[in-house]
A and B are shown apart, each in its own frame.
Chain A
Amino acid sequence: KAGVTQTPRYLIKTRGQQVTLSCSPISGHRSVSWYQQTPGQGLQFLFEYFSETQRNKGNFPGRFSGRQFSNSRSEMNVSTLELGDSALYLCASSPGTGGGYTFGSGTRLTVV
């Protein structure tokens, strides 16, 4: 079966701009969670969506938001980009009943 697909793979944006990243989960999976990975902070949980509802959110500012569509595809948005938002953004797909987390290859965002 197809894995988790994240698009785009690479992105360069300017400070102050906004960006939207996309994640298509494994077919049949209803949960998508997002993570930020940086050398300094490691992997940090952003938020989790299940059946179009955000069930949990990590400790990130309101500039980070997301949504999930009826087909379980998810997008995350970062507004008013800052240099510190440069990171690898990963999404994980799971059935949503606990366990079975599969990660995509990530989107490498560089803010200049």
Chain B
Amino acid sequence: GESVGLHLPTLSVQEGDNSIINCAYSNSASDYFIWYKQESGKGPQFIIDIRSNMDKRQGQRVTVLLNKTVKHLSLQIAATQPGDSAVYFCAETGGMYSGGGADGLTFGKGTHLIIQP
């Protein structure tokens, strides 16, 4: 199962299926975007990032897509596993190319990914 569309607080998928988590951002000046995974009782863990001069970036089982025209970011997780169960946050910031990261990260609301056996 996969889901596309606007932000969902919860996404439930079958183990082994692909997951798509969406995020809309508001600041057109943002030039650096990150996806984080947060498990219960832990801090956010880096998954993958993308700069504004790219549309797509792939990692191990994960792909991030950036559409600057509509200010939309998505995270695709291939072959979802039980260990992928967590809350996923997108984050944006400006200053990647100027100012050196002083702006701080602006986080989305988060999507709780639930894996069904």
Question: Taking beta carbons and an 8 Å cutoff, which residues of A are in contact with B?
Answer: 4, 6, 31, 33, 35, 42-45, 47-48, 50, 55-56, 58, 90, 92, 94-99, 101-106
Contact = CB atoms under 8 A, between A and B. Distances in A.
Nearest to A30: B100
Contact of B101 (A4, A98, A106): A98
A99 B109 contact: no
Interface residues of B, number: 27
Contacts, number: 71
A97 B102 contact: no
A99 B49 contact: yes
B43 A99 contact: no
Given A45-B105, A48-B104, A105-B42, 19 more contacts: A31-B100, A35-B104, A35-B105, A35-B107, A42-B109, A42-B110, A43-B89, A43-B91, A45-B104, A47-B104, A48-B103, A50-B100, A97-B101, A98-B101, A101-B46, A102-B46, A103-B44, A105-B43, A106-B42
User: Chain B binding site: helix, strand, loop or mixed by DSSP?
Assistant: loop
Given A45-B106, A101-B34, A96 B101 contact: yes
A90 B44 contact: yes
Nearest 10 interchain pairs by C-beta:
A45-B104, A55-B102, A103-B43, A43-B107, A98-B101, A98-B96, A97-B100, A56-B102, A103-B44, A105-B43
A98 B34 CA distance: 12
B101 A31 contact: yes
B95 interface: yes
Contacts of B97: 98
20 contacts: A33-B104, A35-B104, A43-B105, A43-B107, A45-B104, A45-B105, A48-B101, A56-B102, A90-B44, A94-B101, A95-B101, A96-B101, A97-B101, A98-B32, A98-B101, A99-B49, A101-B34, A101-B46, A103-B44, A105-B42
